[in-house]
A and B are shown apart, each in its own frame.
Chain A
Amino acid sequence: MKIIAICVVILGASLAACNSNKQQAPAAVTIENKKDTVSPGNDLKSSASATIKPVSTFPQKEILNGYLQLKNALANDNSKEAATAGNAIVSVLAKVDTLSLSQSQQKVYADLQDDAREHAEHIGANPGKLDHQREHFEMLSKDVNDLIKNFGNGGQTLYRDFCPMANDGKGASWISEVKEIKNPYMGKKMATCGSVKETFK
C-alpha cells in the first residue's frame, strides 16, 4: 500500500507544481513598483532623456546586422548559424520601444513587428531545416525591405537583389550589403543567380 500512497502524492505534487508557477510573476512587479516610488529623481531624468531623442532609439542597425548575418549564413548553406542569427533578430525586435517612435513610424512598425518576429522565430527554431528557413527568409526579406524604406539603411549602402529561380521559380528578393551576388536561396549550388534591382544609399 505504501507504493500506492507514494504514487498518489507524487501525482498530486506535480499537479500542484503546474499551478504554482504562474503565481510568481505579479510579486516581482510589485517589488519594481516600490523601487520606483523610492527614487522619483531617477524617474524624471529617464523620461526627459527619452523625449529628447525619439527617432534614434529604433535599433535599425542591429536588426539589419542580424538580417545580413542570416543572409550570409543561408548563402553558405549554414543552417545552424542561420538559426543563431534568427534568434538574434527576435531578441532585437523584443527590445524595440514603440513609444519612442513617431506616430507614422509606430503605424509602420505595428504592421511589421508580429510578422517579422514570427519569421525570425521560425528560422531560429529550425536549425537543420534549410528549406524551411529559406521559406521564412523570403517573407522576412519583404519585411526588412519595408523597414529600410521607413527607417533608413542604418548608415550603410544596401542592395535589393532578385533571383527569378528562387521560391520554386516564382522569384524572390533579398537585401545585401555587397554589390556582388551571393544567393541565400540557392546557396553554394547556384551562388551567383540574380541581379541588383535597387540600391539604398
Chain B
Amino acid sequence: MLRFEKIILALVLIFVAIQFIQPAYNRSGQVLPADFLTLYKPPENVTAILQNACYDCHSNNTVYPWYSKIQPMAWMMGKHISEGKEELNFSDFGSYTSRRQISKLKSIANQVKDEEMPLTSYKWMHKKANLSKEEKALIIDWMQHKADSLSTDN
C-alpha cells in the first residue's frame, strides 16, 4: 500500500510541476489589415459564425476558456492552435496569393460540408461551434460564392 501511495504522490507532484510550464498565449490583440473580416467584410451572420467557431484556432486571437490554464489541456490547445494557424490563418489571410485565397475559400466550404471542421473535441466545449444545418449551408454558400467571384476576376 505504501508503494501505491508513493506513486499517487509522484503523479500529483508531476501534475503540479507541469502547471508552471505554460505555452505562450495566442493573443496579439491586434486586427491586421490582412484580416479576413477586414478584407472581405462578410455579412454579420457569417462574421459571427467565423468568430465563434473558427477564430480560436485559425487566427492570432484565441478566446481562452477557464480550463486553458490547466495542464496538460494548455499543451493540447497550443498544438491545435499552431496546427490550425499553419493550415489557415484568418488574421493573415491577405498575405496569401490570390490563387491560394481562392483555394482556402473552397477548402473552408469543403471542410464544413464534409463535417471535418469544426473539430468534434472543440464542439464538446464550445456550443456555438456546433453549427446548425442552416449555419453550415450559410458558410458553405458564402465561401463558394466568394471563391467563384474571385476566380472570374482573374
Residues of chain A within 8 A of B114, CB atoms compared? 131-132, 135
Contact between chains at A115 and B13 (CB < 8 Å)? no
Q: Which residues of A contact B106 (CB under 8 A)?
A: 135, 138-139
Does the CB pair B10–A114 fall under 8 Å?
no
Quick check: B7 and A115 within 8 Å, CB to CB? Answer: no
Residues of B within 8 A of A143 (CB): 99
Chain A interface category by residue count: 20 to 34
Contacts of B9 in A (CB 8 A): 4
Judge if B100 is at the interface, Cβ distance under 8 Å.
Answer: yes
For A71, what are the chain B residues with a Cβ–Cβ distance below 8 Å?
A: none
Q: Of the listed stretches A7-15, A25-33, A52-60, name the one at the interface; the rest are far from the partner chain.
A: A7-15
Chain B residue total in the interface (Cβ 8 A): 21
Which residue of chain A has its CB nearest to the CB of B9? A4
Complexed CA–CA distance, A118 and B103 (Å): 10
* In the complex, A3 has a CB within 8 A of chain B: yes
Give the residues from 134 to 155 in chain A that come closer than 8 angstroms, CB to CB, to chain B.
Answer: 135-136, 138-139, 143
Residues of A within 8 A of B17 (CB): 8, 11
CB-based nearest B residue for A132:
B114
Indicate if the CB atoms of B99 and A111 lie closer than 8 Å.
yes
Across the interface, A7 reaches (CB within 8 A) one of B3, B14, B100, B110, namely B14
> Are B6 and A3 neighbours in the complex by a CB distance under 8 Å?
yes
Encoded as 1 (CB less than 8 Å from any B CB) or 0, chain A from 81 to 111 comes to 0000000000000000000000000000011
Q: With A and B bound together, what is the CA distance between A16 and B21 in angstroms?
A: 13
Q: Are B6 and A8 in contact (CB under 8 A)?
A: no
Residues of A within 8 A of B6 (CB): 1, 3-4
* A193 is an interface residue with CB less than 8 A from chain B: no
> Is A112 interfacial (CB-CB < 8 Å)?
yes
CB-CB < 8 A to A15: which residues of B? 21
Q: Contact between A7 and B103 (Cβ–Cβ < 8 Å)?
A: no
Known pairs A1-B6, A3-B6, A119-B103; A114 contacts B97 (CB<8 A): yes
Is B52's beta carbon under 8 Å from chain A?
A: no
B10 contacts A7, C-beta separation under 8 Å: yes
Residues on A with C-beta less than 8 A from B18 are 11
Q: Please tell me if the beta carbons of A4 and B10 are within 8 angstroms of each other in the complex.
A: yes
Central interface residue in A114, A115, A118, A136, by most chain B CB within 10 Å = A115
Complex Cα–Cα for A136 and B107 (A): 8
Bound CA–CA A107/B97 (angstroms): 12
What's the least CB distance linking B110 to chain A, in Å? 5
Q: For chain B residues 117-132, which have a beta carbon within 8 Å of chain A?
A: none
A6 and chain B: residue at smallest CB distance: B10
Contacting residue for A135 out of B10, B21, B100, B110, CB 8 A: B110
Chain A residues with CB below 8 A from B14, complex form: 7-8, 11
Contact with A along B111-151 (1 / 0, CB 8 A): 00010100000000000000000000000000010000000
Q: A114-B97, A115-B103, A170-B144 are in contact. List 5 more A-B contacts (CB 8 A).
A: A7-B14, A8-B14, A111-B99, A132-B114, A143-B99
Would you list the 9 A-B pairs with minimal beta carbon distance, nearest first? A7-B10, A4-B10, A135-B110, A115-B100, A115-B99, A139-B103, A3-B6, A3-B10, A111-B97
